[in-house]
Each structure stands twice: as structure tokens, then as C-alpha cells.
Amino acid sequence: MPLSRKQTEREARKKLILNSALRVFKTKGLEHATMDEIAIEADFGKATLYYYFKSKEEIFNTILLNGWITLWDGIEDVVILKNTPRRKFIKIIKKLIELVNEDRALYEFLFFAPQSHPSSGEGEPEWKQYQVRLTNTMHKLIELGIEAGEFPNIDSQITLKALGSIFHGMVLMGKDRENITEEEVDELFTKFLKKNK
């Protein structure tokens, strides 16, 4: 069922607020950003912001939630494909890089903001479940790859953390690149595994 004109306008305003907040958070950080600054950046009155979001923390968590849902939805087709664990792992990394390249500002924020602002003691934010689901999927693929003899028998948690660093490097250092091939992902992956045998 298509959205009504009013719903479409509402979604457009929310998106504008979130994009504006992202710019403010990137320059000021969550601690120092204010709802006033987000309102000015979005060119809305503060009352409009409070109509959509009750606090800057809610905006922060919504940005992270939307980003992690997009990543999870983006790899879902690859996860359900019949493939070897190694091929699937490489295809997922490639797909993640493609998604990140579509909105680099969002994903740089997504990967680094939670480290600078860990969640409060009020229970885990909703975005965390998607982050954990993605991490668990990659962890399971490494374990299955070890069982199948496709990866060397190294601790899968350490392997996952190290591969996460490689992923960040491939994404953030490849700013001038349009994309990366599966062969390049596989080559980097193979070099890492050989080094850690």
C-alpha cells in the first residue's frame, strides 16, 4: 500500500532531521550536540524536532538503527544463498563494502560513534541486536569454514576481530575507489589467514 502524501512528507522531514543530526554529531559529538543545533541544521523549529524525537539520544539511536537494519537487510540474500562458508563470507564482505560506499558518512559514523558513546545503563538500544546478529553470522561462517578446512584452525573470535579491522581498512582507506571485487577481498583474506597460520 503506497504512502499517503502526508506520510511521505512526514518521512521526508524525519529523514532531513536525521541527516542534519548526523552532520552535527560528526562535528560536535553526541555529548556536545544540542537539539537547538540540530534544529538549525535541519532548518526547522525546535518544536518540530520534539514532535518527531523526544531527545538527541533518540535521534542518535535512530540513525544507528536505520544504518544497521540497512546493512542486515542488504546481506540477507547472501546469507541464505547456498555456498561454501568461505565464498559466503567473502560475498558478505563485498556486499557490506558496497553498502558502505553508498553512504560513507553514515557508515563511518555507524562504526565509530558507539565506541565514543557506549550505551547507557537503560538496557541495550534496539540497533544493537542487528549489530550482534551480523557479527554472530560472520562468526558462525568462520567456525563453519574452519570445520570445512577452508580457514586455518585459529580462534574464530580473534579471526573475526582481525577481519573486522581489515574490513574497516578496506572501506575507510578505499575512499577514492568506486568498489572492490570479490577477488580482491579473497586475496586480502588469504594473506591475512596465511600470516596467522
Considering only residues 112 and 105, tell me which one the structure prediction assigns the higher pLDDT. 105
Q: What is the pLDDT of residue 131?
A: 87
Residue type, position 16, single letter:
L
Closest CA to 60 of 109, 13, 99: 109
Q: How confident is the model at residue 196 (pLDDT cuts 50, 70, 90)?
A: low
Element at 50 (helix H, strand E): helix 46-52
Lowest mean pLDDT among 6-15, 41-50, 74-83, 149-158: 149-158
Closest CA to 55 of 122, 146, 147, 130: 122
Round to whole Å and give the CA distance between 97 and 92: 9
Lowest mean pLDDT among 92-96, 130-134, 191-195: 191-195
pTM for the model: 0.81
Q: What is the pLDDT of residue 194?
A: 67
Round to whole Å and give the CA distance between 121 and 178: 40
Q: What is the pLDDT of residue 139?
A: 87
Report whether 1 contacts 22 (CB < 8 A): no
Round to whole Å and give the CA distance between 102 and 15: 16
Q: Residue for cell digits 560536535? A: 28
Closest CA to 16 of 36, 44, 37, 35: 44
**pLDDT tens-digit map of 35-55:** 999 999 999 999 999 999 999
Say what the alpha-carbon torsion angle 134, 189, 184, 66 is, to the nearest 10 degrees.
10
C-alpha cell at 119: 550505551
**What percent of the chain lies above the pLDDT cut of 70?**
82
Considering only residues 193 and 134, tell me which one the structure prediction assigns the higher pLDDT. 134
Round to whole Å and give the CA distance between 42 and 25: 13
Round to whole Å and give the CA distance between 125 and 33: 20
